[in-house]
């Protein structure tokens, strides 16, 4: 190979000589892949089967110094660059088509300080990596609900899961971070060191640099918790969703109950006649004494007459893997998201109408219950600006056949449009697809001008643009 062509930041084509590429590869301990190398196709594949991009080169970083070299190389040669953590992102921004991927997925170290109740987590770690290490000490950090989710992307977008109502969002438990900015410099940031950049990272996504490690505050959780599923037939949807809404208003913050409207998978505790039929699923976890959790879960069983349930005391880390099969890689995915302060009867009607038109067996509408500790922090205290949301909806279009692309996407958009009159106007940034760039400023609300100014300060050329991008502006307009 005489030279390697790549896409520049401006969309033109550039070229790297073989010698230049070889010299760069000497600085990347995990190696650099191009299309000519074995393992390239595996390395460029991402979770969402709709994303099929061919980067010019993939830099497998094993540490902060590798990342610094990669960022410097991208900046000097003006290469279109993307950052890949360890998990799955719906928009597929982890892969720069004809550009360079800075791949952190092999950086999976988790180091627990049991005495201080903290953990240092590298940027390629998955939730399962963190749970494995922290639960050995009966500790946990609020993360998501799938063990295969990447910690970095989750945290930088906000992060919520079963522990959020009791202990706050993932970003609320972030103590410090190491970040490489667009100039290749390493910053160790916290509330006392570069607090403005630390503010921006807590919800601002990958706009401000490459975070190589996170330090989290840990809380006593488990190792056993009370958790599980309760499933109702769609015929009872109106009554059970109203009961869930009413229960959520007065539930203790230890309890999180999320609802999912979908076709019933072949779960062993459901009658075979229910398999494939539309159902309302309530997934719950009690982050406290399991005996108290059992008493609270009994109220979920009283919403109506369940088709079946699977509730009990179980390992917290185990429940974190319960939904992994529903998010296995390779399927085609298209999502839409809304935030709600409350769930009205009319909104429930829209949920039911949407569920009755499900376009496939893997499609679903899930609504997460938030509030509690997450809502006690102000909308401007972190870059994440959805603190007024007590519920977050994800319209999860998921299918296999490319011929179904338009039909499933149309259904997802219709559900989004039908629920918009009841929404806050915000949404969860990590659920945005690549065609929703116009929603970014709305989701950040009054925080957007401040984010634009910080983007200009730390990344004025917008090197880190393959994300839900914040446009740099030296004097952003008032919101």
CA dihedral 319, 325, 326, 329 (to 10 degrees): 130
Contacts of 151 (CB under 8 A, 6+ apart): 85, 86, 87, 121, 123, 125, 126, 127, 129, 130, 143, 214
Segment 339-383, tens digit of pLDDT: 999 999 999 999 999 999 999 999 999 999 999 999 999 999 999
The confidence score (pLDDT) of residue 479 equals 45
pLDDT at 426 over 90: no
> Is residue 151 a contact partner of residue 168, using CB atoms and an 8 Å limit?
no
pLDDT tens-digit map of 391-418: 999 999 999 999 999 999 999 999 999 9
Whole-number Å distance between alpha carbons of 308 and 281? 10
Q: How far is it, in rounded angstroms, from Cα 394 to Cα 323? A: 15
Cα angle, residue 280 at apex, residues 229 and 251 outer, rounded to 5°: 60
Query: Closest Cα to residue 198, out of 169, 176, 229?
Result: 176
Give the pLDDT confidence score for residue 477 in this predicted structure. Answer: 53
What percent of the chain clears pLDDT 70, i.e. is strictly above it? Answer: 99
Domains of the chain listed by start with CATH number = 3-103 (3.30.43.10), 110-220 (3.30.465.10), 224-431 (3.40.462.20)
Rounded CA-CA distance 279/127 in Å is 28
Q: What is the pLDDT of residue 250?
A: 94
- Average pLDDT rounded to a whole number, residues 144-169: 96
Instruction: Please state the rounded mean pLDDT for residues 318-346.
Output: 94
Contact by Cβ (8 Å): 89, 430: yes
> What does the alpha-carbon distance between residue 259 and residue 233 come to, in Å, rounded to a whole number?
13
Cβ pair 129, 148 in contact under 8 A: no
State pLDDT tens for residues 228-244: 999 999 999 999 999 99
* Mean pLDDT (the chain, rounded): 95
Tell me how far CA of residue 192 lies from CA of 177, 207, 211, 331, in angstroms. 12, 21, 18, 43
Q: How far apart are CA 460 and CA 475, in angstroms?
A: 12
pLDDT reported for residue 195? 98
- The confidence score (pLDDT) of residue 89 equals 77
Q: pLDDT tens across 92-120, in order?
A: 899 999 999 999 999 999 999 999 999 99
Task: Put the strands of the sheet holding 210-217 in their side by side order.
Answer: 110-113, 118-122, 210-217, 174-180, 186-190
Residue 475, both tokens: 């004097």
**How many residues are present in the chain?**
479
- Rounded to an integer, the average pLDDT of 315-339 is 93
Percent of the chain residues past pLDDT 90, beyond the cut: 93
Residues paired with residue 476 on neighbouring β-strands, in sequence order:
none
Q: What is the pLDDT of residue 63?
A: 97
Q: Is residue 478 scored above 60 in pLDDT?
A: no
CA distances from 440 to 174, 180, 189, 384 (A): 23, 23, 25, 11
Residue with tokens 């979908």: 262
DSSP assignments along 148-182, one per residue: TSBHHHHHHT----TTHHHH--GGGGEEEEEEE-T
DSSP string, 378-419: -TTTSS---TT-SEEEEEEEEES-GGGHHHHHHHHHHHHHHH
Bridge partners, residue 334, by sequence: 397
Predicted confidence at residue 219, as pLDDT, reads: 98
At residue 89, φ and ψ (nearest 5 deg) are: -125, 130
* Region 208-218 average pLDDT: 98
Helix, strand and coil percent figures for the chain, each rounded to 5: 35, 25, 40
pLDDT at 53 over 90: yes
Phi/psi at 254 (5° precision) = -65, -25
Residues 245-300: pLDDT tens digits?
A: 999 999 999 999 999 999 999 999 999 999 999 999 999 999 999 999 999 999 99
Block residue for tokens 């000490």: 137
Residues in CB range of 277: below 8 A, 6 or more apart? 233, 234, 263, 264
Mean local confidence (pLDDT), 48-69 = 96
């Amino acid at each position: 190979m005489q030279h390697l062509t790549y896409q520049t930041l401006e969309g033109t084509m550039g070229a790297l000589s073989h010698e230049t590429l070889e010299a760069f590869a000497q600085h990347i301990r995990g190696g650099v892949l191009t299309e000519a190398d074995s393992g390239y196709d595996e390395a460029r594949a991402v979770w969402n089967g709709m994303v099929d991009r061919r980067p010019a080169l993939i830099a497998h970083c094993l540490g902060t110094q590798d990342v610094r070299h990669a960022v410097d190389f991208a900046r000097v040669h003006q290469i279109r660059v993307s950052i890949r953590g360890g998990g799955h992102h719906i928009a597929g921004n982890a892969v720069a088509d004809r550009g360079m991927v800075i791949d952190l997925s092999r950086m999976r170290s988790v180091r627990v300080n049991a005495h201080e109740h903290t953990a240092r987590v590298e940027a390629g770690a998955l939730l399962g990596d963190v749970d494995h290490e922290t639960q050995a000490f009966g500790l946990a950090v609020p993360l998501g609900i799938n063990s295969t989710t990447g910690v970095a992307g989750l945290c930088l977008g906000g992060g919520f899961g079963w522990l959020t109502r009791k202990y706050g969002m993932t970003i609320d438990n972030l103590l410090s971070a190491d970040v490489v900015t667009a100039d290749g410099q390493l910053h160790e940031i916290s509330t006392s060191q570069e607090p403005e950049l630390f503010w921006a990272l807590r919800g601002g996504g990958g706009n401000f640099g490459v975070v190589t490690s996170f330090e989290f505050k840990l809380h006593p959780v488990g190792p056993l918790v009370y958790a599980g599923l309760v499933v109702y037939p769609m015929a009872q949807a109106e009554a059970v969703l109203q009961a869930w809404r009413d229960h959520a208003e007065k539930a203790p913050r230890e309890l999180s109950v999320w609802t999912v409207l979908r076709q019933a998978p072949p779960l062993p505790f459901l009658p075979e006649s229910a398999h494939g039929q539309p159902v309302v699923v309530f997934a719950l976890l009690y982050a406290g004494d399991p005996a108290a959790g059992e008493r609270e879960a009994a109220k979920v069983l009283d919403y109506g007459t369940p088709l079946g349930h699977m509730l009990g005391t179980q390992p917290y880390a185990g429940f974190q893997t319960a939904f992994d099969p529903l998010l296995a890689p390779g399927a085609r995915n298209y999502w839409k998201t809304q935030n709600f302060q409350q769930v009205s009867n009319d909104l429930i009607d829209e949920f039911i109408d949407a569920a009755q038109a499900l376009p496939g067996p893997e499609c679903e509408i899930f609504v997460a219950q938030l509030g509690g500790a997450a809502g006690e922090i102000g909308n401007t205290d972190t870059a994440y600006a959805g603190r007024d949301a007590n519920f977050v909806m994800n319209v999860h279009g998921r299918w296999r056949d490319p011929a179904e692309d338009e039909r499933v996407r149309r259904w997802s958009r219709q559900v989004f449009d039908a629920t918009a009159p009841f929404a806050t106007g915000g949404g969860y940034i990590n659920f945005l697809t690549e065609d929703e760039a116009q929603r970014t400023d709305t989701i950040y609300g009054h925080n957007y001008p401040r984010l634009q100014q910080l983007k200009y300060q730390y990344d004025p050329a917008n090197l880190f643009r393959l994300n839900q991008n914040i446009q740099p502006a030296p004097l952003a307009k008032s919101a």
